[in-house]
Structure 1
Amino acid sequence: MRPLFPKRAVVTAGMPYGNKELHFGHIGGVFVHADTYARFLRDRIGEDNVIFVSGTDCYGSPILESYRKLEKNDSIIIQDYVRSNHIKQKEALDDYEISLDLFAASALDKAADVHNEVSATIFKKLYKKGALKKLKNSQFYDPEFKVLLNGRQVVGKCPIQGCSSDKAYADECSLGHQYMPSDLIDPVSTLSGLKPEVTDVTNWYFDLEAYLELLKERNDYLRLNTNHRKYLINTIEEFLKKPCIYVKKDYAEIVTTLQDQLPSFEIDEQSNKSSLTLVFHTLTQREAAQELLSSHGVQYRTGKTLVPFRLTGNIEWGVPVPQVDSDDTPLTFWVWPESLWAPISFTKTYLMEHGEAEDAWKDWWNSKDSMVYQFIGEDNIYFYGIAEMGVFMALQDYDSKITPDDGQLQLPHLIANNHILFLDKKASSSSDIKPPMAKELLSYYTPEQLRIHFLSLGLSTKSVSFMPKPYIPGADPKAADTVLKEGNLLTNVFNRLVRSCFYTVQKYYDSKIPEGAITPSILEEGKNAILDFERGMYNHEFHSLTYLLDTYIRNANKYWVNSMKQAESTGNDELRKQVLIDSFHSVRVTMTLLHSIAPTGCEMIQAYLHADKEIWNWDYIFEPLTFFLDSNVPMEYLEPKVDFFKKHESQFFI
Structure 2
Amino acid sequence: MGKNNQNNEQYRPKKISVFDLPRPSFPKRAVVTGGMPYGNKKLHFGHVGGVFVQADCFARFLRDRIGEENVIFVSGTDCYGSPIVESYRKLCETGEFDGSIEDFVRINHESQKEVLGKYDISLNLFAASGLGESKDVHAAVSSALMQQWYENGHLEKMVTSQFYDAKAGQFLNGRQVIGKCPVDKCQSDKAYADECSLGHQYMPADLIDPKSTLTGETPEMRDVVNWYIDITKFNELMNEYVDSLPEKGNSRPLVYNTIKEFMLPPMIYIKKDFIDEYTAIKSQMPEHILNLEDNKTSFSIEFINLNDRDKAKELLNDNNIRFRAGKTLVPFRLTGNIEWGVPAPVLDGEDGLTIWVWPESLWAPISFTKTYLKQQGKPEDEWEKYWKSTDSEVFQFIGQDNIYFYGIAEMAMFIALQGKENLTAFPSDGQYTLPTLVANNHILFLNKKASSSGDIKPPMAEDLLEYYTAEQLRAHFLGLGLSLKSVSFQPKPLNPSAGEKDADPVEREGKMLSNVFNRVARSCFYTIQKYGEPIMPMGQVSEEVLHDAKETILKYEHAMYKFEFHTVMNLMDTYIRNANKFWAKNIKDAEADPEKRNQVLIDTLHMVKTAMVLMHPVAPKGTELLCEYLGFGKDIWNWEHVFDTLTDLAKANGETEHRLKFLEPRFDFFPMKAR
Which bracket does the TM-score occupy, shorter chain normalised?
Answer: over 0.9
Q: Is the 8 A contact 2:262 2:329 kept in 1?
A: yes
Following superposition, the deviation at residue 91 of structure 1 comes to 0.3
Deviations 1:201-224 (A, max 9, x none): 111111111011110111111123
Cα distance in 2 for residues equivalent to 1:515 and 1:165 = 62
Q: 1:226 and 1:406, CA in 2 relative to 1: closer, same or farther beyond 3 A?
A: farther
Following superposition, the deviation at residue 133 of structure 1 comes to 0.8
Deviations 1:61-105 (A, max 9, x none): 100000001122133001111000000000000000000000000
Following superposition, the deviation at residue 474 of structure 1 comes to 4.1
Following superposition, the deviation at residue 147 of structure 1 comes to 1.2
Cα distance in 2 for residues equivalent to 1:428 and 1:517 = 55
Is residue 2:379 matched to residue 1:360?
A: no
The one of 431, 435, 439 equivalent to 1:408 is 431
Counterparts in 2 of 1:100-499, with a 5 A limit? 100-269=123-292, 273-326=296-349, 328-397=350-419, 399-499=422-522
Cα distance in 2 for residues equivalent to 1:563 and 1:232 = 47
Following superposition, the deviation at residue 271 of structure 1 comes to 9.5
More displaced stretch, 268-277 vs 436-445: 268-277
Cα distance in 1 for residues equivalent to 2:469 and 2:139 = 39
Matched with 1:575 is: 596
Counterparts in 2 of 1:640-651, with a 5 A limit? 640-650=665-675
The one of 527, 542, 554 equivalent to 1:519 is 542
Aligned residue for 2:269, secondary structure, equals: strand
Q: Is the 8 A contact 2:44 2:459 kept in 1?
A: yes
The one of 44, 47, 69 equivalent to 2:65 is 44
Matched with 1:595 is: 616
More displaced stretch, 185-194 vs 246-255: 185-194
Cα distance in 2 for residues equivalent to 1:4 and 1:193 = 56
Cα distance in 2 for residues equivalent to 1:353 and 1:166 = 43
Cα distance in 2 for residues equivalent to 1:155 and 1:246 = 22
Cα distance in 2 for residues equivalent to 1:271 and 1:98 = 53
Deviations 1:490-541 (A, max 9, x none): 0100001111011011112421222332111111000000011011001100
Cα distance in 2 for residues equivalent to 1:219 and 1:373 = 16
Matched with 1:636 is: 661
Is residue 2:101 matched to residue 1:92?
A: no
How high is the sequence identity, in percent, across the aligned residues?
Answer: 57
Counterparts in 2 of 1:481-630, with a 5 A limit? 481-568=504-591, 571-629=592-650, 630=655
User: Which amino acid counterpart does residue 76 of structure 2 have in structure 1?
Assistant: G
Q: Is the 8 A contact 1:614 1:628 kept in 2?
A: no
Following superposition, the deviation at residue 167 of structure 1 comes to 1.0
User: Which amino acid counterpart does residue 541 of structure 1 have in structure 2?
Assistant: E
Aligned residue for 2:27, secondary structure, equals: coil
User: Which amino acid counterpart does residue 430 of structure 1 have in structure 2?
Assistant: S
Cα distance in 1 for residues equivalent to 2:609 and 2:395 = 28
Q: 1:541 and 1:191, CA in 2 relative to 1: closer, same or farther beyond 3 A?
A: same
Q: Is the 8 A contact 2:536 2:658 kept in 1?
A: no
Q: 1:333 and 1:466, CA in 2 relative to 1: closer, same or farther beyond 3 A?
A: same
Q: Is the 8 A contact 1:512 1:631 kept in 2?
A: no
Q: Is the 8 A contact 1:132 1:205 kept in 2?
A: yes
Aligned residue for 1:532, secondary structure, equals: helix
Q: Is the 8 A contact 1:378 1:416 kept in 2?
A: yes
Q: Is the 8 A contact 1:248 1:300 kept in 2?
A: yes
Following superposition, the deviation at residue 298 of structure 1 comes to 0.1
Deviations 1:612-650 (A, max 9, x none): 321100011111012333443421111101100011122
More displaced stretch, 8-17 vs 145-154: 145-154
Following superposition, the deviation at residue 194 of structure 1 comes to 1.9
Cα distance in 1 for residues equivalent to 2:165 and 2:313 = 25
Cα distance in 2 for residues equivalent to 1:107 and 1:257 = 54
Q: 1:519 and 1:509, CA in 2 relative to 1: closer, same or farther beyond 3 A?
A: farther
User: Which amino acid counterpart does residue 586 of structure 1 have in structure 2?
Assistant: M
Aligned residues: 647
Matched with 2:5 is: none
Cα distance in 1 for residues equivalent to 2:607 and 2:550 = 10
Following superposition, the deviation at residue 227 of structure 1 comes to 2.2
Following superposition, the deviation at residue 445 of structure 1 comes to 0.3
Cα distance in 1 for residues equivalent to 2:425 and 2:55 = 25
Cα distance in 2 for residues equivalent to 1:81 and 1:231 = 36
Following superposition, the deviation at residue 140 of structure 1 comes to 1.1
Gaps of 5+ in 2: 1-21
Following superposition, the deviation at residue 196 of structure 1 comes to 1.6
Cα distance in 1 for residues equivalent to 2:590 and 2:658 = 26
Q: Is the 8 A contact 1:585 1:624 kept in 2?
A: yes
Cα distance in 2 for residues equivalent to 1:574 and 1:619 = 30
Cα distance in 1 for residues equivalent to 2:118 and 2:248 = 38
More displaced stretch, 471-480 vs 598-607: 471-480
Q: Is the 8 A contact 2:536 2:657 kept in 1?
A: no
Q: Is the 8 A contact 2:53 2:477 kept in 1?
A: yes
User: Which amino acid counterpart does residue 603 of structure 1 have in structure 2?
Assistant: E
More displaced stretch, 435-444 vs 67-76: 67-76
Cα distance in 1 for residues equivalent to 2:495 and 2:203 = 41
User: Which amino acid counterpart does residue 455 of structure 2 have in structure 1?
Assistant: D
Following superposition, the deviation at residue 226 of structure 1 comes to 4.1
User: Which amino acid counterpart does residue 385 of structure 1 have in structure 2?
Assistant: G
User: Which amino acid counterpart does residue 620 of structure 2 have in structure 1?
Assistant: P
The one of 39, 46, 52 equivalent to 1:25 is 46
Deviations 1:167-204 (A, max 9, x none): 11111011100001111111111111222222221111
User: Which amino acid counterpart does residue 206 of structure 2 have in structure 1?
Assistant: D
Cα distance in 2 for residues equivalent to 1:423 and 1:485 = 17
Q: Is the 8 A contact 2:249 2:562 kept in 1?
A: no
Q: 1:378 and 1:271, CA in 2 relative to 1: closer, same or farther beyond 3 A?
A: farther
Q: 1:509 and 1:267, CA in 2 relative to 1: closer, same or farther beyond 3 A?
A: farther
Cα distance in 2 for residues equivalent to 1:516 and 1:404 = 50
Cα distance in 1 for residues equivalent to 2:619 and 2:227 = 46
Following superposition, the deviation at residue 573 of structure 1 comes to 3.0
Q: Is the 8 A contact 2:31 2:73 kept in 1?
A: yes
Cα distance in 2 for residues equivalent to 1:468 and 1:612 = 36
Q: Is the 8 A contact 1:612 1:628 kept in 2?
A: no
Aligned residue for 1:648, secondary structure, equals: coil
Q: Is the 8 A contact 1:271 1:277 kept in 2?
A: no
Aligned residue for 1:605, secondary structure, equals: helix
Cα distance in 2 for residues equivalent to 1:616 and 1:224 = 30
Cα distance in 2 for residues equivalent to 1:38 and 1:272 = 49
Q: 1:530 and 1:275, CA in 2 relative to 1: closer, same or farther beyond 3 A?
A: same
Q: Is the 8 A contact 1:452 1:546 kept in 2?
A: yes
More displaced stretch, 398-407 vs 10-19: 398-407
More displaced stretch, 128-137 vs 512-521: 512-521
